[in-house]
Amino acid sequence: MPSSTISAFIAVLALLSSEEKTPDCVGLVTASGGSQFWQEITAGARDAATELELTLEIRSSSYESNIEQQRQALKELESLGCIAMVVAPNTPKRAQDVAKLKQKGIETIFIDRDFAAERATAILTDNYATGERAAIAMADELPKGAQIGMIRLHQSIDSTSEREQGFIDAAKMVGLTVVFDEYIETGQDASSQQMAELLARHPQLAGLFTPNESTTTTAVLARQSLQRQHPMIHIGVDANKVLLSSLAQNQLHSLFLQRPYLIGYQGVMAAAKIADGHQLPDVILTESTYITAVDLEQPEIQALLQESDNRARQSDDATLPPSD
């Protein structure tokens, strides 16, 4: 066999070997539904990857409802040879993809939401408890029987669905009257118009719960667009500049702050531990922090919010490649 042919053969073998062994790659697939939240998730994941000297490949979904886009993102990360996936699943059908990955020796860690699947662990906020706490906080400000409403995000998103259920269950238990409980569209213009129309139909509404950053922002902007605003106990989840400004001006009553940076950080750490053969708890829960306008003056809350903003900026500066 000519020496040139032998050299080419050896080069091909070396290439195949390197493609099979990429122990330094972890894939992260985020979702949509609140930009700062996912920026902080990504910042936490990046810091963990840097600490562990791993390569972090990131893909994102443009819409929560785009199920196929997220599937293609997983296939792309698999083709890169990632040893584990950290995923915010946007459908229960993702279990099929997780099972296929597991058959190939690739473990999956769910973050932010959980579905029945062969994932290694799930790292998320204690969502049901957050919804319960929101209802109890609202009941402390309103008389029994007060009319309240709730906005839902999307039926396929487990995290917000649990928050919503926790709120509804606790609201009924403490004697509040739920007069609407509706999903809103995901597009900003359509959702804002839908929200404004919903509020206009319920002029006696005394309280409102919105379960994540995007729904809370939509409700705040919709209320601001109304010519006449009546007092309302609006409790939301997550934070951004618009929401914190509204909280300071008492347009929002309070917010529950999740720990997205910690979720992203722990997600990559868990991926590395699973790849090394360690066993992890089935679910790892993080608590949310409840704040009102008064709390904005507290040094520890100011530090927490500043840190969150810095991390979101850090992540935003690094371009996230959307999956095609």
If we measure between CA atoms, which residue out of 102, 83, 265 comes closest to residue 94? 102
Topology of domain 127-257, CATH: Rossmann fold (3.40.50)
- Average pLDDT of the segment spanning 165-172: 98
The top-level CATH class assigned to 16-125+259-287+300-317 is: alpha beta
Give the rounded percent of residues in the chain with a pLDDT score beyond 70.
86
If we measure between CA atoms, which residue out of 240, 28, 214 comes closest to residue 123? 28
Distance CA(324)–CA(322), nearest Å, equals 6
- Delimit the domains of the chain by residue range: 16-125+259-287+300-317, 127-257
Q: Does the pLDDT value for residue 120 go beyond 90? A: yes
State how far the alpha carbon of 323 is from the alpha carbons of 28, 74, 101, 278, in Å.
11, 9, 18, 30
Asked if the domains 16-125+259-287+300-317 and 127-257 are classified in one and the same CATH topology, the answer is: yes
In the prediction, which pLDDT does 306 show?
85
- Average pLDDT of the segment spanning 84-109: 95
- Write out the two tokens for 258: 């999740």
Instruction: Note the pLDDT tens digit of each residue in 302-315.
Output: 888 888 878 777 66
Containing 165, the helix (H) or strand (E) segment is helix 158-173
Average predicted confidence (pLDDT) for the chain:
86
